[in-house]
Amino acid sequence: MDFSFTEDQLAIQAVARDFAQRRIAPVAAEFDRSGEFPLDNIREMGQLGLMGIEVPPEYGGAGMDAIAYVLAMIEIAAADCAHSTIMSVNNTLYCNGLLKFGTEAQKKKYVTPIASGEAIGAFALTEPQSGSDATAMRCRAVKQADGSFLINGKKSWITSGPVAKYILLFAMSDPERHARGITAFLIDTERAGFQRGKTEPKLGIRASATCEIEFTDYRALPEEVIGEEGHGFKIAMGVLDAGRIGIASQAVGLARAAYQATLAYARDRKAFGQAIGSFQMIQQKIADMKCKLDAAELLTLRAAWCKQRAHETGQRFSTEAAVAKLTASEAAMWITHQAVQIHGGMGYSKEMPLERYFRDAKITEIYEGTSEIQRLVIARNETGLR
Ligand code: CAA
């Protein structure tokens, strides 16, 4: 087992850290307050290769591996979770899905502008009535005589929906076949039949725009079907396996930021004549924070390693991704909670970023599969039972 990183991995980590600390950290609180989408930063991140880290250079990306992606995500999330949400959806839910299942022409046309940061991509699976139970979707795609599909229905909680140029959409094309009747489509948001609905006022990751989208007789052309007709659910699940490693990385970055702020505070803050970090009750919390943080980081890197290996073996990494996401998101929630507690009143104040970390951490236990769904995936895969 080798715990060291390659030069390329360290290089993208350094690029991400520099951008995160110089350009994101100073404005993160203001973006959180205003809820404005950080478009200029996202464009620049695209130019630095951060919007398509695993995308080959011929499609506008940085051509790096899954470990490099994790390292870069951790750095961006440590500065601001909202920026890392936008980065994660672009990289994994959108680019990864198209790279894996798209044709050469689809990759050229739809991956290049998104991986280079010229435009934003999104992923649309969830609906107002179906979140965890994704196959219960109502959005319909009806095949026409000329091979095109007419799409009607609603999707909700679409990260980057308000600004996306292209969306990877999942719709039911054959309701009789349930999971095997779902097809994936590439949606152009500038085409007739596509509308944006209400935006979500959120507890955290406030600068990452989220909205409902609606289709009214939207016509998808045959060349806009991604993968085979009826294979959409497997595509969505495969893409989410990769996406969950992104959310695990985000949780690690966020937890690391909260932990480091807490260490500094525990050394500086005096109570009863001593640094509060010398009290055993604080020391116990710090030791537990450190253990959870390291476990989350190592499990996330293991999942990324399995994902990278899958390029050669084709082996699924669903369990490792679910273990990483579950462990890291629960660690982030616990660590940010303890960080607020140790900071006392300052943890509760908007003068410091702790309350933002705490609010942002919650979403990592919910999106791209709740903690309950991660436990279900792990237990089903471990026992072989359903
Ligand atoms: N990779 C490939 N195929 C997979 C798979 C995977 N990871 N998981 C399941 N499949 C296949 C199964 O093998 C099965 O194939 P067959 O029909 O050939 O047997 C098929 O898909 C159906 O699988 P299941 O019977 O297991 O399906 P299910 O209905 O029981 O659901 C589930 C399984 C795990 C609960 C799944 O629905 C799930 O993950 N739900 C959560 C959805 C989710 O994460 N939503 C988040 C949306 S994205 C988001 O958060 C927004 C954002 O923008 C950030």
378 in contact with ligand 1, CB cutoff 6 A: no
With respect to CATH, is domain 233-383 assigned 1.20.140.10? yes
Pocket residue to mutate for ligand 1, from 233, 326, 378, most atoms within 8 A of Cβ = 233
Nearest CA to ligand 1 atom 15: 234
Say whether 368 is catalytic. yes
pLDDT value for 131: 96
Strands 140-143 and 149-159: antiparallel
Place of tokens 């900071």: 343
* Atom of ligand 1 minimally distant from the CA of 125: 47
- Options 3.30.1360.170, 2.40.110.10, 2.40.10.220, 1.10.760.10; which CATH number does 122-229 get? 2.40.110.10
Using alpha carbons, select from 279, 265, 289 the residue that is nearest to residue 337: 289
367 in contact with ligand 1, CB cutoff 6 A: yes
Each residue of 107-117: pLDDT tens digit? Answer: 999 999 999 99
Q: What single-letter amino acid sits at 48?
A: L
180 in contact with ligand 1, CB cutoff 6 A: yes
Strands 140-143 and 182-188: unpaired
Ligand 1 centre to CA of 318 (Å) is 10
R_g of the chain, CA atoms, integer Å? 21
As a whole number, the mean pLDDT across the chain is 98
pLDDT value for 1: 85
Among 54, 104, 368, 382, the active-site one is 368
The first and second tokens of residue 164, run together, are 């996306």
Question: How many other CB atoms are there within 10 angstroms of residue 239's CB atom?
Answer: 25
Asked if 114 and 289 count as a contact pair (C-beta separation under 8 A), the reply is: no
Is pLDDT of 191 > 90?
A: yes
159 in contact with ligand 1, CB cutoff 6 A: yes
Ligand 1 centre to CA of 305 (Å) is 22
Nearest CA to ligand 1 atom 14: 234
Ligand 1 centre to CA of 101 (Å) is 16
Q: What single-letter amino acid sits at 70?
A: V
Q: What percent of the chain has pLDDT over 70?
A: 100
| CA count, 13 A, side-chain hemisphere, 55 | 32
**What CATH class does 7-119 carry?**
mainly alpha
Alpha-carbon span 310 to 301, nearest angstrom: 14
Alpha-carbon span 47 to 183, nearest angstrom: 32
* Atom of ligand 1 minimally distant from the CA of 159: 53
pLDDT average, residue stretch 1-28: 97
Ligand 1 centre to CA of 234 (Å) is 7
Nearest CA to ligand 1 atom 46: 368
Each residue of 76-133: pLDDT tens digit? Answer: 999 999 999 999 999 999 999 999 999 999 999 999 999 999 999 999 999 999 999 9
Asked if 168 and 123 count as a contact pair (C-beta separation under 8 A), the reply is: yes
pLDDT average, residue stretch 35-64: 97
Alpha-carbon span 77 to 230, nearest angstrom: 35
Q: How many helices (H) and strands (E) does the chain have?
A: 14, 10
Domain extent listing, the chain: 7-119, 122-229, 233-383
100 in contact with ligand 1, CB cutoff 6 A: no
59 in contact with ligand 1, CB cutoff 6 A: no
pLDDT value for 146: 98
Is pLDDT of 35 > 90?
A: yes
pLDDT value for 317: 98
Each residue of 292-338: pLDDT tens digit? Answer: 999 999 999 999 999 999 999 999 999 999 999 999 999 999 999 99
* DSSP strands (E only) in 189-295: 194-199, 210-220, 225-226, 270-271, 274-275
pLDDT value for 314: 95
Alpha-carbon span 28 to 80, nearest angstrom: 6
Burial class (CB in 10 A: 0-12, 13-18, 19+), 218: buried
* Atom of ligand 1 minimally distant from the CA of 131: 45
Nearest CA to ligand 1 atom 25: 179
Is pLDDT of 371 > 90?
A: yes
Alpha-carbon span 307 to 321, nearest angstrom: 9
Q: State the Cα torsion 44-48-52-56 to the nearest 10°.
A: 140
Each residue of 128-180: pLDDT tens digit? Answer: 999 999 999 999 999 999 999 999 999 999 999 999 999 999 999 999 999 99
Asked if 330 and 216 count as a contact pair (C-beta separation under 8 A), the reply is: no
